[in-house]
Copies of this chain bind each other. A is one copy, B any other.
């Protein structure tokens, strides 16, 4: 089986394993207070073009989202998100388990929300005569790329950031696949932009070359204050914290993070073109590593057993939207094999 189901099917970039082997018997303090973490923090601050930011390392995405959101919100506040946001659908109620409502805004297949929607939701709440009977919007969560592979453009992000600050709501960007977003051909946002526009965001490692790990960047001191207590309480403080430091140090030395992200995009675009060439449409078009073609079920049947993918939804009686993921680890030969099979199936069916 060749896996296109997700972007975490393999281990880590070989350079990371090398560094783990090299440093294995070094003795360091635990809990992220070691020199590797310090160096990784320095590299990430540098990549963000800011010295005055807090960088913390957590193990996984759900944990990271939960820790950040429950740190930022007051007990009676909720977090605004696209209805398709990961925190709303795929985290088993982790946010609610911290006591907060996820305030879902409607969105189309792009899975994005707009500054206008955020402002409208905030004002609708504040202008309601019985606002204290309702959950107060207290933070905005966006994922970039989104769960459907689309990205926020600079103008959109600027507008959202502006509204958030106007309304006193911190902006949190979930960058579980940040590398794949920033390396997209049509992306016009830099890491510096994100650090400037967001109160907190994270640079995903799990899906972009690391064994695991997310680097949280906090630019808002109110969220940074005592954040390590929150990490510990939420179960995210790795005893051997250096494992996170070593991985992010490796990813941010010499631009490895961006190089391997670019590879995933190249593979995805090759695949996208093949779907297009076959005449297949998309659930939503995007330029990142998650491609969501709408395929005839007959084609999917023929791919089954040889290639894995994720099922998204039935679009009509004989078609389904599915997701093919590439990643830093995707082998071009596998993409080529899939394309060859797609073309062959296509020609057989005509």
Find A92's partner among B14, B71, B135 (CB 8 Å cutoff).
B135
Q: Is A75 an interface residue (CB 8 A)?
A: yes
Cβ contacts under 8 Å, A71 to chain B: 75
Q: Which residue of B lies closest to A97 (CB)?
A: B99
Cβ contacts under 8 Å, A96 to chain B: 78, 96, 99-101, 135
Find A239's partner among B20, B60, B102, B243 (CB 8 Å cutoff).
B60
Q: Is the beta-carbon distance between A11 and B20 smaller than 8 angstroms?
A: yes
| A106, chain B: closest CB distance, angstroms | 11
User: Apart from A6-B30, A92-B229, what are 10 other A-B pairs with CB-CB below 8 Å?
Assistant: A6-B239, A9-B29, A11-B24, A63-B235, A76-B93, A76-B232, A90-B130, A93-B101, A94-B234, A212-B240
Q: Is the beta-carbon distance between B75 and A70 smaller than 8 angstroms?
A: yes
- A3-B27, A96-B78, A211-B243 known; A235 and B233 CB under 8 Å? no
Cβ contacts under 8 Å, A232 to chain B: 62, 76, 91-92, 94, 132-133
Q: Is the beta-carbon distance between A234 and B235 smaller than 8 angstroms?
A: yes
Q: Is A339 an interface residue (CB 8 A)?
A: no
Cβ contacts under 8 Å, A94 to chain B: 232-235
Q: Is A10 an interface residue (CB 8 A)?
A: yes
Q: 1/0 per residue A73-90: CB within 8 Å of B? A: 011101000000000011
- A11-B243, A212-B239, A239-B60 known; A93 and B135 CB under 8 Å? yes
Find A11's partner among B61, B230, B240, B329 (CB 8 Å cutoff).
B240
User: Which 7 residue pairs across A and B have the least CB separation, nearest first?
Assistant: A63-B235, A76-B229, A11-B24, A92-B233, A3-B27, A93-B135, A92-B232
| A320, chain B: closest CB distance, angstroms | 14
For chain A, residues 117 to 175, give those with C-beta under 8 angstroms from any C-beta of chain B.
129-130, 132-136
For chain A, residues 1 to 42, give those with C-beta under 8 angstroms from any C-beta of chain B.
1-3, 5-6, 8-12, 14, 17, 20-21, 23-30
Q: Which residue of B lies closest to A16 (CB)?
A: B24
Q: Is the beta-carbon distance between A17 and B21 smaller than 8 angstroms?
A: yes
Q: Which residue of B lies closest to A242 (CB)?
A: B11
A side interface size, CB within 8 A: 75
C-alpha gap A228/B129 in the complex (Å): 13
C-alpha gap A25/B3 in the complex (Å): 11
| A97, chain B: closest CB distance, angstroms | 5
Q: Is A226 an interface residue (CB 8 A)?
A: yes
C-alpha gap A302/B86 in the complex (Å): 49
Q: Which residue of B lies closest to A74 (CB)?
A: B226
Cβ contacts under 8 Å, A237 to chain B: 60, 62
Q: Which residue of B lies closest to A10 (CB)?
A: B25
Q: Is the beta-carbon distance between B24 and A14 smaller than 8 angstroms?
A: yes
Q: Is the beta-carbon distance between B239 and A61 smaller than 8 angstroms?
A: yes
